[in-house]
């Protein structure tokens, strides 16, 4: 698997640059579908490459899959959004340290008519309980991503084990899950960045937002070179250092769509 992923990244380097792959230094990054689908990487990675000469090849996966890919040593850096899982990854020795980079929040979207009445809910858990109580369709990523982990925490807070015809597990990324929600139509939990960039909303609208439980932090971790000696530790650390530098943080803050900021830098 390691060779397959790195070979694919190597081939992509040639295809994108027209240069012999050996002529361009690059790292392989496992990250979430939200950072990829939102367009953030298309905005910031060219800036990083211009500043350092290092290209970044992204493997976009749900957070759980991204961390598993990193556990195998198939990437150099992981950039995801499930803090507890990230801290466990580091505690197990797979990563060097978890470093805060940015945050946004989750929102619950659904049919504009709001058949479950979640707009009147006083918490995100109450909104989820209202959806289940109404038997309203809910599209779940069902993929152990950071968004799915957050969703399951909300169901647990509501005292609900979601199951039944109304609960639709897509096993897909955020964009595909929102497409399903738009087609059904159904409620869904999504990070705000992907929602802002999502163009196929159909009759969907934000139904609930603003609960502190919907806070969505992102962390970056260098895969431990002591466990995987082939990891490009120097180049990977250069990427992390740039992300948390004034330049990188300004690049993140400057990424906007339709006048809306998608992510908010918070490196310490």
Most distant pair of Cα atoms in the chain: their distance: 59
Q: What is the pLDDT of residue 16?
A: 40
H or E segment at 10? helix 2-17
Place of tokens 């953030």: 40
User: pLDDT per residue over 146-186, tens digit each?
Assistant: 999 999 999 999 999 999 999 999 999 899 999 999 999 99
Q: For the chain, list residues with pLDDT below 70.
A: 1-23
Specify the residue for token string 């943080």.
249
Q: What is the pLDDT of residue 20?
A: 45
Instruction: Give the tokens for residue 181.
Output: 């929600």
Q: What is the pTM of this model?
A: 0.86
Measured CA to CA, the distance from residue 230 to residue 228 in angstroms comes to: 6
Cα distance between residue 121 and residue 114, in whole Å: 12
185 cis-preceded (ω within 30 degrees of 0)? yes
Cα 140 from Cα 176, distance rounded (Å): 10
Hey, what domains does the chain have and what are their CATH numbers?
2-103+217-265 (3.40.190.10), 105-214 (3.40.190.10)
First to last CA, the chain: 35
The pair of structure tokens assigned to 173 is 């990324």
pLDDT digit string (tens) for 75-112? 999 999 999 999 999 999 999 999 999 999 999 999 99
Give the whole-number percent of the chain exceeding pLDDT 90. Answer: 87
């Amino acid at each position: 698997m390691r060779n397959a992923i790195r070979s694919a990244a190597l081939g992509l380097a040639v295809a994108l640059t027209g240069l012999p792959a050996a002529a361009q230094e690059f790292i392989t990054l496992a990250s979430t579908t939200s950072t990829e689908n939102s367009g953030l990487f298309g905005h910031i990675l060219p800036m990083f490459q211009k500043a350092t000469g290092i290209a970044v090849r992204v493997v976009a996966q749900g957070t759980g899959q991204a961390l598993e890919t990193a556990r195998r040593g198939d990437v150099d850096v992981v950039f995801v959004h499930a803090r507890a899982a990230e801290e466990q990854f580091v505690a197990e020795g797979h990563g060097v340290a978890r470093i805060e980079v940015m945050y946004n929040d989750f929102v619950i979207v659904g049919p504009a008519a709001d058949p479950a009445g979640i707009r009147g809910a006083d918490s995100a858990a109450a909104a989820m309980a209202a959806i289940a109580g109404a038997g309203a369709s809910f599209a779940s990523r069902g993929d152990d991503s950071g968004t799915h982990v957050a969703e399951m925490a909300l169901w647990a807070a509501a005292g609900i084990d979601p199951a039944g015809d109304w609960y639709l597990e897509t096993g897909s990324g955020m964009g595909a899950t929102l497409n399903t929600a738009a087609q059904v139509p159904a409620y869904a939990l999504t990070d705000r960045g992907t929602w802002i960039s999502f163009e196929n909303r159909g009759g969907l609208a934000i139904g609930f937002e603003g609960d502190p439980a919907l806070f969505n932090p992102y962390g970056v971790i260098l895969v431990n070179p002591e466990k995987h000696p082939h990891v490009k530790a120097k180049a990977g650390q250069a990427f992390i250092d740039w992300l948390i530098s004034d330049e990188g943080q300004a690049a993140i803050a400057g990424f906007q769509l339709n006048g809306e900021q998608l992510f908010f830098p918070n490196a310490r």
